[in-house]
Amino acid sequence: MQPKLYVANYPAGDFRAMPALGGGHALLKWVTSFPDNPARGLPTVSGFVLLSDATTGIPEAVLDAAAVTALRTGAAAALAAMTLGRDGSVAVVGTGVNGAAAARTFASIGRELAVWDVEAARAAALADEIGASVASNREDALAAEVVVTVTPGREILYPAGSLRAGQHVSLMGADGPGKAEIAVEEIARAHVFCDEWEQASHSGELAAAVEAGVIGRGEVTELGRVLAGEAEGRRSDDEVTLFDSTGLAIQDLAIAVAALAKVDELQLQTLDV
C-alpha cells in the first residue's frame, strides 16, 4: 500500500490522495482537512471515495469521504483500545464527526464511557444519543484508563509527565505535519504502536519524536502485527501504551467494500451506467 500523498495549502488545510488495492477492488480516496471550516458552517473533512473492480477497472461506487473516514477512524480507535488497553474507564476527547464515531463504536460494544469537547453542547448531545456521560472537565477525561483523543492536533493534551501508569491512549487527531496531541517526552517513555510505520513516522503523531531522535523503527510496533499474533502487545498492567493513527487507505477500502455489499440494506442510491 502506498503512503498517502499530501497537497498542502497551510495554514488553511490540506488535500490528500490515498490509493489501495485488495480483495478484488481498487480504491482512490481524495479527501481534505480544513480545521477552520466549522466556523464557516462547512465540514472539516470533505471529499469522495472511488471504488473500482480490480479485474476490469470499472467503477463500482462513489462514497462520501467524510462518512467513510469517520467509520474507519472510530473502528481503529476502539480496536486499538480494546487490544492494548486494560479494562476500566473509557473517555473520548473531541466529539466532532470522527470523535463521535469513536464514541459510538465503544457504545456499540457495550463499553461505558465519558465524552468531552470544547463545545459542551455537542458533547452533551452525543452523550444523550449513545447513553454516555459527560466528563466534568478535560483533565478528568484525559485521566481515564483508556482514552481516545480526536482533536485538531493544535494543542498538546498530554505534556511531559502527564500519562499515568497503566494508561492507554489512542491518538487519532494528529494526522498531518505539524500536528500533535502529546509531548515527545511522553512518546519516549511509552510502549508505542501505530497503524503503519512509514506513514506515521512522516506525517503522524510520531513524526516529531522520530525527527528528535528519541524513537525509531525498532521501538514502534504496527498494530496489525499484534492482531495477527506476530508481535507483543501490552506487557504489564503498569505499562503505558500509545497508538498513533494516521489513517490507512486499506481501512477505507474495507469500509467501502462492506458498504457495497449492503447496498440494499443501507438503501444507498444506485445508477445504471
Count Cα neighbours of 209 within 13 Å in the Cβ-side half-sphere: 27
pLDDT the model gives residue 114: 98
DSSP 161: T
Residue 181's Cα: distance from chain center in Å? Answer: 13
All structural domains of the chain with their residue ranges? 5-67+250-266, 69-248
Q: Averaged over 246-250, what is the pLDDT?
A: 91
**SS3 (DSSP) at 99:** helix
**SS3 (DSSP) at 26:** strand
Q: Averaged over 127-145, what is the pLDDT?
A: 97
Q: Averaged over 41-62, what is the pLDDT?
A: 94
User: What are the φ/ψ torsions at residue 79 (nearest 5 degrees)?
Assistant: -60, -45
Q: What is the pTM of this model?
A: 0.89
Sign of the alpha-carbon torsion through 2, 154, 157, 172: negative
Q: 185-243, pLDDT tens digit by residue?
A: 999 999 999 999 988 888 778 988 999 999 999 999 999 999 999 999 999 999 999 99
Distances in Å between the Cα of 238 and the Cα atoms of 83, 86, 171, 189, 217 are 15, 10, 19, 12, 23
The count of other CB atoms within 10 Å of the CB of residue 230 is 10
d(CA 192, CA 84): 10
CATH number of 69-248: 3.40.50.720
DSSP 182: B
pLDDT the model gives residue 271: 66
Q: Averaged over 121-130, what is the pLDDT?
A: 98
- What is the band of 156 on the pLDDT scale with cuts at 50, 70, 90? very high
**SS3 (DSSP) at 146:** strand
pLDDT the model gives residue 269: 73
DSSP 214: S
- Catalytic residue positions? 29
The CATH architecture assigned to 5-67+250-266 reads 2-Layer Sandwich (3.30)
